[in-house]
Amino acid sequence: MPWETSDPEIQVTFLDADDGIALDEQLEEPKLDLALLRRLPAIPLFADMPEGAFFELTTRMRTLRFAAGDVVAREGDPPGSLFVVIDGSVMVKVGDDEVINRLGEGDVFGEMSLLLDGPRRASIVADSSLEIFELDRELLNDVIDRYPAVADVLARLVKSRLVDLLLATAPIFTPFDGPSRRDLVRRFELREVAPGTRLITEGLPGDGLYVVVSGSFEVRRGDELVLARLVAGDVFGEISLLTHGEAVATVEALAPSMVLRLPRRGFQETIVLYPPVLEHIAQLAAERGATEGASDGSLVFT
């Protein structure tokens, strides 16, 4: 069932099928004491919700408890529910048990796979004894039906989490520690991109360095020669900045997307202050340059 939000980049869709993860053994009926109820409005998920939506969610959501080491959700599983950490903490793991984040009281997980209607992007493992609230798809369907503003609240959460995931996994950001990474990303602008939008145009100077947050882009030379498709974590626009010349390919959005953009005016200062950024894009440019003249047309200079 689709829900329109004021955000053109995220269409909130909840399927009617019950494909949530099996957590029956951890379920308890809601038992919200007054002290806990008073704390809930401070949690970002609930802070901006209409009063009626807040009341309905808090009276219908379920409580789950886990022991340290329990797997709450697995990477690749189908979407099912959104969760809020009430007590304890969890590890966010991708791939071969690489811990990319830890979440604690008030943090939310499960929202990206649920709202973007895709498989779970990470595994969630209890880092300690854990108590969480579960908001399943049926409950969210009902509440959004009566309070459409809830869809916008969830969309904002998804945007924030997508950027967090990018910072933890994209090679351009991973050389830095947490504080340096946060300082670096402040130099970028978060931009939403509609399908068909050109961010780089062949023959014109590029206006910045781009990192794909979500969605997909096509790299094209001329009107028909497709050189590459770019997805989350990919970088483009570096050649024009490094050479102070024109872009040799066009980059166009194929789907609703988000990018981080480092404007041209701030590029030189950034690579001086953060040398690993220059190292990464110089290596990327060299790798792309090595494909020039390849028979498969795989050059992806921008």
Strand 81-87 versus strand 130-136 pairing type: antiparallel
Asked whether residue 63 falls in the same domain as residue 115, the answer is yes
CA dist list (Å): 136 to 17, 20, 28, 65, 140: 11, 8, 14, 16, 6
- pLDDT tens digits, one per residue of 39-71: 676 787 888 888 899 889 888 999 999 999 999
Q: What is the pTM of this model?
A: 0.70
Picking from 106, 135, 169, the residue at the C-terminal end of a domain is: 169
Asked whether residue 15 falls in the same domain as residue 134, the answer is yes
| The pLDDT of residue 104 | 92
Asked whether residue 155 falls in the same domain as residue 225, the answer is no
How is residue 44 written in tokens?
Answer: 């970002």
- pLDDT tens digits, one per residue of 102-146: 999 888 898 877 777 778 888 999 999 999 999 998 899 899 999
- pLDDT tens digits, one per residue of 213-253: 989 999 999 888 999 999 999 999 998 999 989 998 999 99
Residue 18 neighbours by CB under 8 Å, 6+ apart: 137, 138
Which candidate, 236, 202, 204, 203, places its Cα nearest to that of 217?
A: 236
CATH of the domain at 230: 2.60.120.10
Alpha carbon distance 228, 246 (integer Å): 19
Alpha carbon distance 249, 221 (integer Å): 5
Query: Does 256 score more than 60 pLDDT?
Result: yes
Residue 34 neighbours by CB under 8 Å, 6+ apart: none
| The pLDDT of residue 24 | 45
> How many structural domains is the chain composed of?
2
208: left (phi over 0), alpha (psi -120 to 50) or beta: left
Q: How many other C-beta atoms can be found within 10 angstroms of the C-beta atom of residue 125?
A: 20
Residue 301 lies in a domain: no
Domain span holding position 163: 2-169
Residue 70 neighbours by CB under 8 Å, 6+ apart: 125, 126, 130
Phi and psi at residue 233, to the nearest 5°: 95, -20
Asked whether residue 146 falls in the same domain as residue 31, the answer is yes
Query: Does 95 score more than 60 pLDDT?
Result: yes
- pLDDT tens digits, one per residue of 273-297: 999 999 999 998 888 775 554 433 3
